[in-house]
Amino acid sequence: MSYTIKAEPTKEYFQRITKLMDIQEQTFGLKRSLASDVMSGTNPNGYVKVCGSWLKRMWGVTGGASKGISDVTTIFDSCGAYDFKNSNPVSKGSKYDDWKDALTFLEWYGIPHMDNFGIIVIDNENPSKYI
């Protein structure tokens, strides 16, 4: 399950997104900075929240290892892909810099019809973190 956080850039918006990014880093080891995104013009349309439990399954993380999505995976190494943006073949996903963790992979892959949105991984197994 995922949904979008999109709002006018108010103080409350920046505080909420910053808090979500802090929880994402503490829980999953995925570091991101809203200030860096704003300065670089990254994700100008907002962010989509993605459930961590789904992302762990997609990334091949087994057991309860929360931080496994911040690691490189080898699950795509036998598939091969092509990076149309940079005109590069991707023969081994685990060696491809744009796939250094699950977050960079999802943002590289993109969300259909949601260009210029970033992703924030939510710990849906521990919702009390967001109260």
pLDDT of residue 15: 92
Residue 89's SS3 state is strand
Q: What is the pTM assigned to this prediction?
A: 0.82
Residue 81's SS3 state is strand
Indicate if the alpha-carbon torsion angle 64, 30, 126, 43 is positive or negative. negative
Mean pLDDT of the chain: 87
Is 70 exceeded by the pLDDT of residue 113? yes
Concatenate the DSSP letters of all residues of 5-61 into one string: E-----HHHHHHHHHHHHHHHHHH-----HHHHHHHT-STT-EEEEEHHHHHHHHT-
Residue 90's SS3 state is strand
The per-residue pLDDT for range 48-72, each reduced to its tens digit, is 999 999 999 999 887 665 568 999 9
The per-residue pLDDT for range 10-56, each reduced to its tens digit, is 888 889 999 999 999 999 999 999 999 989 998 888 899 999 999 99
CA dihedral 92, 117, 21, 27 (to 10 degrees): -40
DSSP code for 100: S
CB atoms within 10 A of CB 111: 15
